Amino acid sequence: MEDQQDLMTSEFHSQIQEAMKKGVAEGVAKINEHLEEQKNTPLNIAITGESGSGKSTFINAFRGINNSDEGAAPTGAVETTTEVKPYPHPNHPNVTLWDLPGVGTPNFPADEYLEKVGFERFDFFIIIAAARFKENDVKLAQEIKRMGKKFYFLRSKIDSDLYNEERSQKNFDRQKTLNDIKENCIKGLHHQGIEAPQVFLVSSFELHQFDFHLLEEILERELPAHKRNAFLYALPNISKEIIKKKKDAYQAQIKYYAVVSFLGAAVPLPGLSVAVDLVLVKKVLKEYVIGFGLDEKSLKRLADSSGVPYSILVSVMTSQLGATTITPQLIQNLLSQLAMGSAVIAAEEISRFFLVIGIPLSMCLSGYSTYRILNFLLDLVADDAQRLFEKVVKKTSEV
């Protein structure tokens, strides 16, 4: 995965270098093109399984949407999906989860299923079952493989299995119960002809528990490099590791913004000793706020799905960036906390990058300041995302 990513990066850097030789405008255009691509790379995830297996609830949980919210995939045992329905991620509309009808329903017979759902558009399939995986699930998996696509088995509603087992067994052993469920699913699938099946145990009500993080890691590894960031950005903030990975992905883009801002016209801000490209900083900061779900709408959804009151969520954030409109004044206030000093110390990463693409270091002051400012703001936003996550997890474990 890393090699694939590195290869892409060095190829891209050569392209910028080439473009810069033609002129600054060409260099900027190349970088902007890359940044736009990063934001808009489509990722289409197909969710399939029998009606009632928990597809819609998983789709909603992944998107941070409560089952009863506007835009939620309809849930409930009586609801049957009879068509392929797209559910875009509210903050990352390039990422769509698709609710697929169960295999073998009258309009979707097993042998025509993949054709009928338009399998080409999907990056991978998640096959969900609430108990055993059945013949149709297996047939589908084999067919997906034949078409050269990937699939992952997800065993849903684990919370309710544990609850039931705990109530009915004297010597309840949580880990053993989980192992047994997984083992049974694997054996069943193997028996039906799937070689070395991988099964992930998930509760859509508690994505931070059980195997969701394993599924996340495998998907991240198996996705093509250019789709990786789209996936990462859209992940719910359900672990410290995911928050860190998202932050790293955003961090890796900062050098490009630094160059764009250096090559554009940076305007000195009153009270700050260096020029700051405020328009660009504001634009990128908004992306961080939305990307980490600190905007008002995301926080309201988080309040709904976690049961932690909105006002409490707002109160745990310390950056002043959550649930508010990002204004130039707000950014300026925050930046006064960042000791810019007279000498802006160039980070090694950005210096190297400037040299690679052929900009003399002595000319890069505004690029450096943008680099430092964006790193500083990204830290604030990611730290708040972490605080929110801790608050929500604490509440869930109290229940």
For position 246 contacting ligand GDP by CB under 6 A, the verdict is no
- HSE of 110 in the Cβ direction (CA atoms, 13 Å)? 13
Amino acid identity for residue 381 in this structure: V
Closest distance of CB 157 from ligand GDP, Å: 4
Cβ proximity to ligand GDP, 81 vs 369, nearer residue = 81
If binding is defined by CB under 6 A, does position 386 make contact with ligand GDP? Answer: no
Query: Token pair 């289409």 is at which residue?
Result: 44
Nearer to ligand GDP, 59 or 274 (CB): 59
Taking the C-alpha atoms of residue 52 and residue 347, their distance in angstroms, rounded to an integer, is 53
Does position 75 interact with ligand GDP (CB under 6 A)? The reply is yes
Smallest separation (angstroms) from ligand GDP to the CB of 259: 45
- In the bound state with ligand GDP, the residue whose beta carbon lies nearer, of 155 and 228, is 155
Shortest reach from residue 188's CB to ligand GDP, in Å: 19
Q: Which is nearer to ligand GDP, 77 or 339 (CB)?
A: 77
What residues between 6 and 65 interact with ligand GDP by CB under 6 A? 49, 51-57
220 three-class SS: helix
238 Cβ partners below 8 Å, 6+ apart?
207, 208, 212, 213, 389
The residue count for binding ligand GDP (CB under 6 A) is 19
**Binders of ligand GDP in range 316-345 (CB under 6 A):** none
Please give the DSSP secondary-structure letter assigned to residue 363. Answer: G
Residue 66, interface with ligand GDP (CB under 6 A)? no
Alpha-carbon distances of 343 from 92, 237, 262, 346, 365, rounded to whole Å: 38, 36, 17, 9, 10
DSSP one-letter string for 75-138: -STT----S-EEEE-SS-TTEEEEEPPPTTBTTB-GGGHHHHHTGGG-SEEEEEESS---HHHH
Which residues inside 176-205 make contact with ligand GDP, applying CB under 6 A?
203-205
Q: Which stretch binds ligand GDP (CB under 6 A): 70-78, 178-186, 250-258, 326-334?
A: 70-78
Q: Does 79 bind ligand GDP (CB under 6 A)?
A: yes
The answer to whether 200 touches 189, Cβ cutoff 8 Å, is: no
